């Protein structure tokens, strides 16, 4: 009996399966399709690889890296197959059964430690489950470098982490190296802007980060953002597989991702172009044109237009001085081509700024000419015959910014004393008010009308611009218009007061931003210790950004790599370990900020 069982017992499960299959056809419900089982949610697993981790004396020529998985996989994102130090061309790959074979079009360097990272590059074939990631370390020499560094790359204005930046190390300490050659080690930042460059040599490095648009691992100043470390960096951390900084985390695991040690912080910015020349010219009207310069800070030392008296030429630079608007204050018929003679500092073939005289034709294109030359009276619109202006006022900001009036063309006649400003109280009693007019220092066509009196809740305020009181360079007069504004009176609105101290004579720009830091709610320029009121705030989460305005120009200036100049410093106020301030309904919040401590 024991011999019988030992001989036939293994066949019993097979027999059961055959019987169930045979009889199932007679009782199956043919209207219900098979479910197919549970969905596969398990990511692929590496079963073997070649060469093995830590291999030395790996051949430099026709090198092959093979990862074999436990299931069929695909390369979902080839850009995430990343070799450090990088070669001239990105790694190549092919799928061979359950293996991914990676090779390189050029030889590897001698006596060099390489890391090949495939994090975010692989997924299974069936359900697209991503492979968590792996970094293979090998050397073409007889030893493996054992040091590492970590850090974070963030946007210089929002201080938000930058994903996909390339962090690069150079042994060559010349700033020109980043323009000319590839780094000796590099890595990509993850969703948190975090990077770790592992298995590097014990020496000093220049540290940079770029948004490498074309993937060549060389900085293209005209098109790419850059960041740099002010000092040389010498690594001290030793590679160990147990380090959390080298682990492959789910990017949604906030606690683990934020717990990683970051040794350096790099602020990514777009620097001023190094070359200066006129990059664009356009005629936008009969008497209007503009020039765009390649770099900010254009130096213009002479300008005239053929056939136009010099005193009839009106020009205006924007605040960055990289865009120049030009108007002709002349009522005569304008030719199709205006010839502008301009003298400015232009970059020559050797890369030096040299005084240059250039003739710039400003041509009226056919489409614009057709729109300006109306074929009949019915084609002429009302705005074609008036001094066009835009008048705006916002209830939430009228106390700070007043009423703004911007004209499409410069004025040759104005009568701001003819404006009518009045208020109507809740009892419908009307009262005339006074105001002052402030011309914008950066836009000669924009004016601010500021009421002299303190605005009161529940009052209606009116600004009347009378008919035919303003005339532009086209000879047209304005239409009349009236603006009405009332301070917000929603009882659910809140306010925030900031007590700013420690300015020490420096200038700062203080902004209240939305939670995502993509919109400025209200902004102040601060030159001394004071209280800043942010009224009429709807319940939400906000950020407070402070920028050190070193040159006192009211804007955030970018950096310059070759001059080793970082962008102007930006700091966010932190409350209870959070950069977000949660403002509830019907709240009057007050917060002290010692600004000098934030910028230490």
The predicted-structure confidence for 251-292, as pLDDT tens digits, reads as follows 999 999 999 999 999 999 999 888 899 999 999 988 999 999
pLDDT in tens, 161-202: 999 999 999 999 998 899 999 999 999 999 999 999 999 999
* Matching CATH number, 147-268, of 2.60.220.30, 2.60.40.10, 2.60.40.1120, 1.10.3720.10: 2.60.40.1120
Question: For residues 360 and 280, what is the distance between their CA atoms, to the nearest angstrom?
Answer: 10
pLDDT of 29 higher than 90: no
* Matching CATH number, 46-139, of 1.10.10.10, 2.10.109.10, 1.20.58.220, 2.60.40.1220: 2.60.40.1220
CA distances from 198 to 82, 145, 177, 228, 245 (A): 13, 9, 21, 19, 10
From the CB of residue 66, how many other CB atoms can be counted at a distance below 10 Å? 14
Same fold yes or no, 46-139 and 383-486: yes
Residue 226's nearest CA partner among 577, 521, 578, 563 is 563
In the chain, % helix, strand, coil (3-state, to 5) comes to 10, 40, 50
* Matching CATH number, 383-486, of 3.60.21.10, 3.30.565.10, 2.60.40.1220, 3.30.70.2190: 2.60.40.1220
Question: For residues 273 and 225, what is the distance between their CA atoms, to the nearest angstrom?
Answer: 11
User: Roughly how many angstroms between the first and final C-alpha of the chain, as a whole number?
Assistant: 89
pLDDT of 248 higher than 80: yes
pLDDT of 23 higher than 90: no
What are the sequence ranges of the domains in the chain? Answer: 46-139, 147-268, 278-372, 383-486, 494-598
For the segment 67-88, the average pLDDT, to the nearest whole number, is 95
Question: For residues 572 and 512, what is the distance between their CA atoms, to the nearest angstrom?
Answer: 10
User: Do β-strands 520-526 and 508-514 pair in parallel, antiparallel, or remain unpaired?
Assistant: antiparallel
* Matching CATH number, 278-372, of 2.30.42.10, 3.40.50.1820, 2.60.40.1220, 3.40.50.2020: 2.60.40.1220
pTM: 0.81
Question: For residues 333 and 369, what is the distance between their CA atoms, to the nearest angstrom?
Answer: 13
pLDDT score recorded for residue 273: 84
Architecture of the structural domain at 494-598 = Sandwich (2.60)
């Amino acid at each position: 009996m024991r011999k019988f069982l030992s001989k036939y017992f293994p066949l019993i499960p097979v027999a059961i399966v055959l019987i169930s299959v045979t009889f199932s056809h007679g009782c199956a419900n043919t209207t219900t399709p098979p479910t197919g089982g549970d969905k596969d949610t398990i990511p692929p697993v590496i079963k073997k690889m070649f060469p093995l981790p830590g291999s030395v004396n790996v051949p430099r020529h026709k090198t092959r890296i093979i990862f074999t998985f436990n299931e069929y996989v695909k390369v979902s994102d080839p850009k995430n197959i990343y070799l450090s130090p990088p070669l001239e061309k990105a790694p190549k790959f092919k799928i061979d059964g359950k293996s991914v074979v990676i090779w390189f079009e050029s030889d590897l360097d001698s006596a060099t430690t390489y890391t090949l990272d495939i994090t975010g590059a692989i997924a299974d074939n069936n359900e697209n489950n991503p492979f968590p990631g792996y970094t293979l370390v090998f050397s073409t020499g007889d030893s493996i470098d054992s040091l590492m560094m970590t850090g974070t790359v963030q946007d210089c204005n929002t201080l938000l982490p930058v994903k996909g930046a390339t962090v690069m190390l150079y042994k060559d300490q010349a700033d020109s190296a980043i323009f000319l050659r590839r780094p000796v080690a590099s890595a990509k930042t993850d969703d948190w802007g975090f990077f770790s460059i592992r298995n590097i040599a014990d020496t000093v490095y220049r540290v940079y980060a770029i948004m490498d648009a074309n993937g060549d691992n060389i900085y293209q100043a005209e098109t790419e953002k850059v960041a740099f470390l002010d000092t040389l960096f010498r690594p001290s951390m030793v590679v160990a597989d147990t380090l959390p900084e080298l682990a492959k985390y789910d990017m949604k695991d906030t606690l683990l991702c934020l717990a990683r040690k970051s040794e350096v912080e790099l602020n990514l910015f777009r620097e001023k172009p190094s070359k200066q020349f006129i990059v664009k010219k356009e005629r936008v009207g009969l008497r209007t044109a503009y020039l765009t310069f390649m770099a900010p800070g254009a130096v213009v030392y002479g300008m005239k237009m053929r056939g136009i008296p010099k005193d009839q030429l009106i020009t205006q630079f924007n605040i960055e001085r990289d865009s120049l608007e030009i108007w002709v204050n002349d009522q005569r018929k304008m030719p199709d081509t205006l010839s502008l003679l301009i003298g400015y500092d232009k970059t020559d073939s050797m890369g030096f700024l040299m005084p240059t005289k250039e003739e710039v034709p400003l041509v009226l294109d056919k489409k614009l000419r057709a729109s300006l030359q109306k074929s009949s009276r019915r084609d002429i619109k009302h705005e074609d015959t008036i001094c066009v202006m835009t008048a705006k006022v916002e209830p939430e900001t009228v106390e700070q910014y007043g009423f703004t009036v911007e004209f499409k063309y410069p004025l040759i006649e104005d009568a701001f004393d003819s404006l009518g400003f009045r208020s109507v109280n809740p009892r419908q009693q009307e009262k005339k008010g006074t105001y002052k007019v402030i011309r914008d220092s950066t836009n000669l066509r924009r004016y601010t009308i500021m009421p002299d009196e303190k605005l009161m809740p529940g009052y209606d305020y009116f600004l009347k611009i009378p008919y035919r009181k303003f005339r532009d360079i086209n000879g047209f007069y304005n239409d009349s218009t009236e603006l009405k504004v009332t301070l917000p009176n929603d009882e659910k609105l809140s306010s925030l007061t900031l007590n700013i101290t420690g300015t020490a004579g420096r200038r700062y720009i203080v902004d209240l931003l939305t939670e995502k830091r993509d919109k400025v709610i209200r902004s102040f320029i601060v030159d001394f210790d004071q209280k800043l009121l942010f009224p009429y705030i709807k319940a939400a989460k906000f950020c407070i950004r402070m920028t050190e305005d070193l040159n006192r120009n009211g804007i955030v200036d970018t950096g310059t790599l070759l001059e080793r100049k970082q962008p102007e410093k930006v700091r966010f106020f932190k409350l209870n370990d959070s950069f977000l301030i949660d403002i509830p309904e019907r709240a009057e919040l007050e917060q002290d900020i010692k600004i000098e401590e934030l910028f230490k």
